Chain A
Amino acid sequence: MRQFVKRCVIAAALVALGIAGTAMAYADWTLPAGRHTVTANVVKMPRGTAPSVAKQAAKAIVSWSAQEVAPGVRMDHYIVMAHSTEDRPLRDVIHTIAATGGDSESVSFAAAEVAGGRWVWTIVPKFRLWTGAESGKSRGLTFPEVSAVPALAVEANAIPPATHPGSDKSTDPTADLTVSPTAPTEASTTPAATSTPALEATPSPSETVSPAESAPPEPPSATGESSPAAARE
């Protein structure tokens, strides 16, 4: 009787092993929460590039090279800040502009924004919700008091005092159209790097003037703080 039981046990073990082996061979094997990992690297936001500045009539023209967040992908906005360097500094003037997609960008600061102060400019690149580090400072420019440039207050569609980051009006091609009161002398001081349509229609021989820019000229009453030495950057 004991012998029979032992044989039954052996037979049962063999059958169990056979069933288990077959089940393992055909089972669906799954990977658990894994052991293998891969990295995904995110770009860093670059620091802004220091802008160049030029004086055009009583306005400031700020220009800089376009930047990329990744190879072939350019920033979509830039924050352009004017910092007063006076002993009693004026409030910063900030423009947030949409990028044009070109190799260079530029924006103008209206006479009313910069009058009566000495300013330097910096650039902060933006992409979606991300903001880069502020650039180094541009060289400084000095502008006369507002009383010295009364006619410049009549700028057509001038940029409002841009203390509103997020306002993109300064990139509107029609938003910054003014006519230089000292056009003949300004022609030689127009910065070559300013390629956006936001620039003034200074009648430089090399520039094309859009129909919108053919506004009636203002009386030449500006002080003309536009010596070539000061206007070139």
Chain B
Amino acid sequence: MRKSRFTAPTLTAVLVGAYFAATASTPTTSDDATMVLISRNGEKDYGSMHFALSGRSVQSLYPGATRQMKLTVVNPYGFRLRLQRLTGKVITSSRRGCSPTAANLAIKEYDGLLPVTVHAHQRVTMAGSIPVTMPRSATEKCAGSRFIIMLSGWGGRAER
């Protein structure tokens, strides 16, 4: 009876302590709108695990033009982050008749050296960029439109 009386509190304390130990390295707040949640294996959203990825808008696109989208990565963690892939995808267009497809706006893979290591709590403007190209055959209905490009990336904790 005496032993069982201490077992439950001990077990609870151990579990709580283990929980805090396991989550101590994750950031606790999302401090800007550029935060992107990450998930393990791309399936389950853990919510608190993320790093910031932002891009600079591109201007003056026209048929045949290619613009380079510069990217900035912020590592909010206390460990080094190893970026392995950065990419973008057109998701919407502001004009009806101007479909958000590669026929009207093509987003290519990140043009630069990868992987890149971002040190703990560091903001890095990537040396490379993501090429954004409007094909020569883009439909006329895309004139004056605004495309929304979704950025995403893959990375992991750098080896110690």
Chain A interface residues (CB < 8 Å from chain B): 2-3, 6, 9-10, 13-14, 17-18, 20-21, 24-45, 69-71, 73, 127-131
B114 at the interface (CB under 8 A from A): no
Tally of chain B residues near chain A (CB < 8 A): 67
B138 at the interface (CB under 8 A from A): yes
B38 and A3 form a contact (CB under 8 A): no
Top 7 A-B pairs, shortest CB-CB distance: A44-B144, A38-B55, A128-B63, A34-B152, A28-B156, A21-B22, A17-B18
A129 and B54 form a contact (CB under 8 A): no
A31 and B53 form a contact (CB under 8 A): yes
A30 and B34 form a contact (CB under 8 A): no
Q: A30-B38, A31-B38 are in contact. Are A42 and B143 (CB under 8 A)?
A: yes
CA gap between A119 and B139 in the complex, in Å: 33
CA gap between A32 and B152 in the complex, in Å: 7
Q: Interface centre among A10, A29, A69, A129, by most B CB within 10 Å? A: A29
CB neighbours of B64 from chain A (8 A): 128
CB distance from B129 to the nearest CB of A (A): 12
B25 and A25 form a contact (CB under 8 A): yes
B149 and A38 form a contact (CB under 8 A): yes
For B1-33 the 0/1 string (1 means CB < 8 A from A) is 001100100110011001101100100000000
> Which of A20, A24, A25, A37 interacts with B151 by CB under 8 Å?
A37
Q: A31-B38, A32-B38, A35-B37 are in contact. Are A40 and B57 (CB under 8 A)?
A: yes
CB neighbours of A26 from chain B (8 A): 156-157
B67 and A40 form a contact (CB under 8 A): yes
B36 and A38 form a contact (CB under 8 A): no
Given contacts A36-B52, A128-B64, 4 further A-B contacts (CB under 8 A): A9-B11, A37-B149, A37-B150, A43-B143
Q: A13-B11, A35-B36, A41-B57 are in contact. Are A128 and B136 (CB under 8 A)?
A: yes
